[in-house]
Structure 1
């Protein structure tokens, strides 16, 4: 990976082809339903400041998984929700009522009508794409004037990730980009968004999940998980800043 001195993005300088990525994510397993539910609840909370100026019409989620966040968008009042997801296993795990909302595949701008969405979300997905600028540019083309783009990304410059160094979970073979607050703001600025904001994001997951993420030897981690389970604490939800950033920007009105 190399670092851009202009925008602060850390990225893979020779990423795999789009076709190779599509094949890998198409075949990816899905085993995180509890964490997906927790994440969707947190995302629903964090986008509330964005919704005040939006028409709650049509929304798209890029990298929707089982589509659990699409349920949240419906609860918020959006009339029409759409999700795009490359993993067959994730889509298969979705309940029947979401079947009509989710499209299998990689996000491609030409699959949608220009200026047809009020809100587009992309949570923990920009790290996995070849060209995040292409995604952000496509999104602004698909947003109606005044529409919003919201992302959640890892922040490699956060205190927790700097302390953990190479032991951090963000150091992952699947991550072709590592963002900082500066680089995600630069992405939004360079692709034409206005009223851009980026800030730390608080995650809320069970102790079971936090223990699984901890940079501990497998034996110690297994023992900790067994102890938590035996005393009935593994399901307790804990809120924590683990070095993620929520960012959003708006398409300029006409």
Structure 2
């Protein structure tokens, strides 16, 4: 991660001179391992230096690693969160319901598909063709055999797909991890059919829980190249050319043991709590909380502006 390069705001392209300091850098390279770039890991609370854009409200790493370095990190990441991935997909499918009422159900793409569990849910809801892209071989290996045919290993690249070929594109808890989220949103717009939907889930750094926890929030993570608020994720979709953009918070449902893993406790207290939950069986119980996540949806205009019809 030594090949770090300066960038402008990844949402509105404003100069770094239009940004204020947000978080100083805190990284201990000696403690990083194969789970540092894995999904739903135990928080490390490391981060690259972050600034907040005064124009669009996004918080971003102003000198992130290169796209090549990030791709390699995710390629090498381990995966041990099948149950949590299944729980997340259940919540995402619930939040997709309004978009599914508006789009046709011929084809769907998921960027950062993991084990492809969401793709299976889309098939069950009538999609004829589903495709997922996932950089981690470990995540793909954890997928059941019936899903692997839907999953392509690698990072999302627009030229791998036909223009105007998808009714729905999903990108859940992934836009924070990429170097150029605006470029991805613009690429997705060109891949959508007119009227097609782009649905994202991102963290909201301005939510009450994340403001309360501050630097001890799980969203403070070396993986995150940017952190959105509700206004900045709406700005991202608007700047990319989407219409009927809607943004709202939603509730996640996970096992109590997973919620406990995310708590900002010292190691001894957390291990004690995890042992108690395991021995009592309480850790397997599911609980729902609004932990500051946001679902956003935008649609490709029927009268396309400067994109393929």
* TM range, smaller chain: over 0.9
Instruction: Please say if 1:192 is aligned against 2:241.
Output: yes
CA RMSD between the two structures: 0.7
Question: Moved runs in structure 1, 4+ residues, more than 6 A?
Answer: none
Q: Which shows bigger deviation, 11-20 or 56-65? A: 11-20
1:65 to 99, 103, 114: 114
Measure, in 2, the Cα distance between the counterparts of 1:52 and 1:154.
Answer: 25
Q: Measure, in 1, the Cα distance between the counterparts of 2:135 and 2:150.
A: 14
2:91 — aligned with what? Answer: 42
**How many Å apart are 1:230 and its aligned residue?**
1.6
Question: Counterpart in 2 of 1:220?
Answer: 269
1:249 corresponds, among 288, 291, 298, to: 298
Where does structure 2 lack aligned partners over 5 or more consecutive residues?
Answer: 1-49, 304-309
- Which of the residues 196, 200, 211 maps onto 2:260? 211
Tell whether 2:136 aligns with 1:87: yes
| 1:138 and 2:182 matched | no
- Deviation track 1:195-240 (CA, whole Å, cap 9, x = no partner) reads 1100002100000100001111111111111111222111111000
Q: Is 1:6 paired with 2:55?
A: yes
Aligned to 1:234: 283
Partner residue in 2 for 1:106? 155
Q: Deviations over 1:31-74 (max 9, x none)?
A: 10010000001101111011111101100000000111111111
Q: Which residue of the partner structure matches residue 181 of structure 1?
A: 230
For these two proteins, the number of residue pairs brought into alignment is 254
TM norm structure 2: 0.81
Q: Distance in 2 between matches of 1:232 and 1:17?
A: 44
Task: Please give the alpha-carbon distance, in whole angstroms, between the structure 1 residues aligned to 2:104 and 2:224.
Answer: 33
2:223 counterpart SS class: coil
Q: Among residues 51, 71, 80, which one is paired with 1:22 in the alignment?
A: 71
- Secondary structure (helix, strand or coil) at the match of 1:127 reads coil
Q: Does 1:117 align with 2:163?
A: no
Matching residue of 1:154: 203
Find the counterpart in structure 2 of residue 51 from structure 1.
100
CA–CA separation in structure 2 for the residues paired with 1:111 and 1:251: 19
Query: What is the DSSP-based 3-state SS (H/G/I as helix, E as strand, rest coil) of the residue aligned with 1:90?
Result: helix
